[in-house]
Structure 1
Amino acid sequence: MSSPHPLVHGPDPLKRAQRQQRAALIAVAIGAGVTLGLVGVLVPQQRRQQAVDQSPLMIKPPVMDWLEDAVKGPAEQTALTPAPPSSRKWVSPLLKACPVADPVLQQRLVSMPLQLRRIQADPSNYGERTMVDAHGQRIDPTPAVIVLHETVYSLGSAVNTFTTPHPNDNDQASYHTLVGQKGEIVQVVDPSKRAYGAGHSAFDGRWVFTSKHFSGSINNFALHVSLETPADGMGPGQGHSGYSSAQYDALSRVIADWLVRYHIEPRAVTTHRYVDQGGARSDPRSFDWGELQKRLTALGLVC
């Protein structure tokens, strides 16, 4: 089911097809835990699907089966659903001055062992992706934007927050995935569910009202991933020493999975600071887009 608000307009069909072909081959390497040379390699569809199905990160969420049977409804923005405030257009740093793909980096990324664990967030801190908004309009809950965050405090503190019941709506919060300073990947909320990562938010002129008591939000069509903040950045402040190489490695693997699985364009990887409509968020502070760009380029997903 296509989104009524496409995130990308007029991509070059040839470049997009080439990028998707490279990404599909690399996804096999990621899923199978082996390294493949991309030149002259043809992977049968059955084998490619098997590798994707076996990947520890490539897990088809139940919502995808549900969406395949859904009936496309009218556009989300109607007279009953107010449009979000106008804002500056998002210009993705991932698509600027494309670097040359590094084959050594590619080999390291696709062959590195994943430090993956799953925890169960308290049900008060996440919800279902809905196909009907608070005004009764049919909407598309397919993930269409990836939002980068930081924890501000330790990984353990974030886990404790998300596993603690919060009966007060204003206290409820979660991300789909956390990435620790040593490269640990912690899945907190299944991607098929709606994590509460960005309350008053919009992206590319789109938000969703899931309740008449709250403002519009991107959570119904967003995926949220948060980097653990280094020790010198815990608490308020304009910046810190930045994130580790292991974090950028793990983050690129998480984002690569989501880009391929949900057919999200790289330009739809954005920040909490950008989508926040209240002007109070600044995360992820001290984020190096170049580090993420060179990894996603090596994986064949950008440039």
Structure 2
Amino acid sequence: MVRDRLSRCWIGLRHRVHEHRALSLTAAAAGSLALGLLGWVLVDHVGLSHAGVRPSLMELLEQMGEEQDRPRDENSSSLSPLPPKSRSWRSPLARQCSDIDNGLRSRLNKLDARSSSWRAFVKIDPTNFGERHDKDAFGRRIDATPRVVVLHETVYSLTSALNTFMTPHPRDEDQVSYHTLVGQDGRVLDIVDPLKRAYGAGFSAFLGEWAITNKKLKGSVNNFALHLSLETPPSGANANGSHVGYTTQQYDALALVLSGWIRSFNLPPAAITTHRHVDLGGERGDPRSFDWSELQARLAALGDLCVT
């Protein structure tokens, strides 16, 4: 009789536990947690917690409260990726105060005097350029002063590049532009004001410096760079490592544009670099077949290389 009564009680209890399974599990978990906390407190109370080696439960709870109440430092460098290791840049441009080609100097000065005939400003879609930021995406102050010139090439025609820049690109990752384009015939198209930010380089850095202005994108030099692109000759409309090179007219116009930037922004000639050098993804090789000696001769003729 007793056994039957016990069996019925056990069956009833199992039935009620099954009906209130979630509540039972919660109660069991709460009981286990309570026992654990009680055990910790008792151990700590009798001195078995090795005070000085392991914090007590109350100390841990107090630490957690302090961490939650402590204001977060939005300017903490731990919130942003560290910049890449600096890659040295040895400029191909050398200091030059003598052996100036006077004929070249005369030609460039005459060309500069009639710049309105070969240089013009072209308006592009506003999604493809922006303001230079004085703070990065993490709220830290950054220097937006233009201090590096990145040389590029268009790969395809000048018209193709312009069509791209005139096309709206609402998504940040699709936006692209240069400050200036130089055509094969020496025509110069300024498309972004040098005081504004062009989107000429993606994942990039110069001398270990970049700026992250969008947390969703990697760092780049765009916030402090000036971008100039040379129109690629038809032979370069491919992924080959080289092509026939750029024209005399292009080098003349390039030198005059760079000379203006050097003087306007007090740039050292060594600040003129290439997309290939600043690119961190290892995917860019432009401007291919660039002849630094052609630029050397022209900047020397303009007096921009006689610097310390």
- With the length of structure 1 as denominator, give the TM-score of the two structures: 0.72
Residues 83 and 206 in structure 1, CA contact (< 8 A), matched pair in contact too:
no
**Of the candidates 160, 174, 188, which is equivalent to residue 157 of structure 1?**
160
Q: Following the alignment from structure 1 to structure 2, what is the Cα–Cα distance between the partners of residues 85 and 140?
A: 18
Aligned partner letter, 1:297: A
Pick aligned residue for 1:263 from 253, 263, 266: 266
SS for the counterpart of 1:160 is helix
Which of structure 1's runs of 4+ aligned residues deviate more than 6 A? 96-99
Alignment match, 1:107: 106
Q: Name 2:245's counterpart in structure 1.
A: 242
The structure showing larger relative contact order (alpha-carbon pairs under 8 Å, at least 6 residues apart) is 1
Aligned match of 1:84 = 83
Alignment of 1:131-280 (within 5 A): 131-280=134-283
Give the CA deviation at 1:135.
0.8
Residues 77 and 83, structure 1, Cα contact 8 Å, conserved in 2: no
Identity of aligned residues (%): 56
Alignment of structure 1 residues 55-66 onto 2, 5 Å: none
Q: Distance in 2 between matches of 1:77 and 1:148?
A: 34
Q: Which runs of 5+ in 1 are unaligned?
A: 1-75
Is 1:99–1:294's contact at 8 Å kept on the other side of the alignment?
no
Matches of residues 13-52 of structure 1 in structure 2 within 5 Å? none
Q: For each residue in 1:275-295, what CA deviation from the matched residue of structure 2 results, as whole angstroms up to 9, or x when unmatched?
A: 001000000000000000110
Alpha-carbon deviations, 1:48-81, whole Å to 9, x = none?
xxxxxxxxxxxxxxxxxxxxxxxxxxxx994444
Name the CA distance, whole Å, in 2 between partners of 1:264 and 1:96: 14
CA distance in 1, matches of 2:139, 2:171: 25
Which residue of 2 is the match for residue 292 of structure 1?
Answer: 295
Q: 1:214 deviation in Å?
A: 0.8
Give SS of 1:255's match.
helix
Q: Secondary structure at the match of 2:93?
A: helix
SS at match of 2:243: coil
Aligned partner letter, 2:101: D
**Helix, strand or coil at the partner of 2:215:** coil
CA contact 1:252–1:295 (8 Å) conserved in 2: yes
* Paired letter, 1:265: P
CA distance in 2, matches of 1:189, 1:242: 25
Q: Structure 2: how far apart are the matches of 1:260 and 1:125?
A: 26
The number of residue pairs the alignment matches comes to 228
Task: Answer whether contact 1:134 1:209 (CA < 8 A) is retained.
Answer: yes
Unaligned runs of 5+ in 2: 1-74
When Rg is computed on C-alpha atoms for both structures, the one with the higher figure is 2
Shift of 1:88: 3.1
Q: Which has the higher helix share?
A: 2
Match of 1:20 in 2: none
CA contact (8 A) 1:273 1:281 kept: yes
- The Cα RMSD (Å) is 1.8
